[in-house]
Amino acid sequence: MFLNSQKNQLFNMIKEAGLSLHTFKLEAKEHLLVTHLPTGFYFKVLSKSVGVASDTNREVFNLFISYTPLTVNGVLFPNQEKAYAPVGKWDTVPAVFTHWVALVKKESEEPDMWADLERNMLLFDTTADNDDVAFTNAELRTVQAKLREAARQIAGTELPSEAIDKLTLVLEQQATQSESLTKKEWKMNFVAAVTSAVIGLALNPTQAHDVFAIIKSVFSGLFLN
């Protein structure tokens, strides 16, 4: 049996950490279990009888604390549990809970680079307006001018020089391929080439977003959507 004051203490610690309380679930029956729903990480306190005190003849309970994920040298093992030696007082629980909340906060604030990449790719979603026909000469000049402009803007960013050189090469190659591919083929090839370059360069989420933002801005409304 856990006291409301104890449960409220954990509630306030989550709140003070700046995490959304709606993403947590509490169960307090034979054990106290706090689960962070998005990650599946949980914090558990089990109150278990360990015998009877000889001086008072009263039942003695210890608290068994455990949580996921297990961390070893900074590496998270989400399906493995970290278990603490049993303790006799509640005072230890908030100290361990603080550490667990910090783990949850770090993981929940970690950007999902693959999801971000997928969202950026959707900016160039194929539509029925992209006929499977070749570019006209006027369209080719426009596309190739846009590719040069994108390269110019990327060169003006704070990306590593290796990334700028790689992306510039990709855009130059796309200018050449626009002369032999249909609009639909070129668009699919263009998106795949830029995406592959961003992944291969291991750009961080901010850098990847900047690259896609430049491409979207330069090509806004032109053959790409």
- The Cα–Cα gap between 202 and 200 comes to 5
The answer on pLDDT for 57 being more than 50 is yes
Query: Is 162:201 a contact under the CB 8 Å cutoff?
Result: yes
Could you tell me if 92 and 42 lie in one domain?
Answer: yes
CA 85 to chain centre: 33
Could you tell me if 55 and 24 lie in one domain?
Answer: yes
What predicted TM-score, i.e. pTM, was given to this entire model?
A: 0.57
Residue type, 202: A
- The Cα–Cα gap between 154 and 147 comes to 11
C-beta neighbour count of 109 within 10 angstroms? 9
Range of the domain at 192: 113-218
Could you tell me if 154 and 65 lie in one domain?
Answer: no
pLDDT in tens, 14-28: 999 999 999 999 998
Could you tell me if 13 and 68 lie in one domain?
Answer: yes
pLDDT in tens, 26-53: 998 879 999 999 999 999 999 887 777 7
